[in-house]
Amino acid sequence: MGADQHGRKNGEDQITPRLVRTSAPVVAAKSSHFHTLILTVWVLGRSQAVHLTGEKTGRSNPEVHVSPVAVDVGGVLDPKRIVRLGKGVHNTSIILDDGRVFAWDWKDGLHRVDALSGYHVESYETGFGSNVFLGHSKATNGQV
């Protein structure tokens, strides 16, 4: 788990899974090249800092966390409203029960994906320079 020599036990590579304890039940998890997101919401690996201003955060922090760190989204995202997670190499997407999408990336931190504001998004994944979403236009009454 992790990068840059993190996720090691006693300085050795850890190639077998290990138990990661959280203080709340885990509903969903997504893992990518450099980080893992567990829905309650906790982050492991390279941190995407959460310094909030409205529906956006400041620049992210490249600190690596080898143990889960609680993510405080300061009221911008109610964790109870999160229904899906998506992941990319250096980013994560969060879908709320009303279909809004928030992206969490190295450049902009946590921010709403305004380009999708006309859609009720069901699934959103990001790759190494690409994005794909499944949803329907709010104007078409559920037509995908």
- Residues contacting residue 51 through CB under 8 Å, at least 6 positions apart: 57, 58, 109
Question: Tens digit of pLDDT for each residue in 30-84?
Answer: 777 666 767 665 556 655 444 433 444 444 455 666 676 666 665 667 777 888 8
8 token code pair? 């090691």
- Residue 41 CA from chain centroid, whole number: 8
The pLDDT confidence band at residue 103, using thresholds 50, 70 and 90, is: confident
The pLDDT confidence band at residue 104, using thresholds 50, 70 and 90, is: confident
Could you tell me which residues are beta bridge partners of residue 123? 134
Number of neighbouring beta carbons within 10 Å of residue 89: 14
Domain ranges (residues) in the chain: 29-140
- Residues contacting residue 35 through CB under 8 Å, at least 6 positions apart: 43, 44, 45, 46, 47, 48, 87, 92
pLDDT at 8: 54
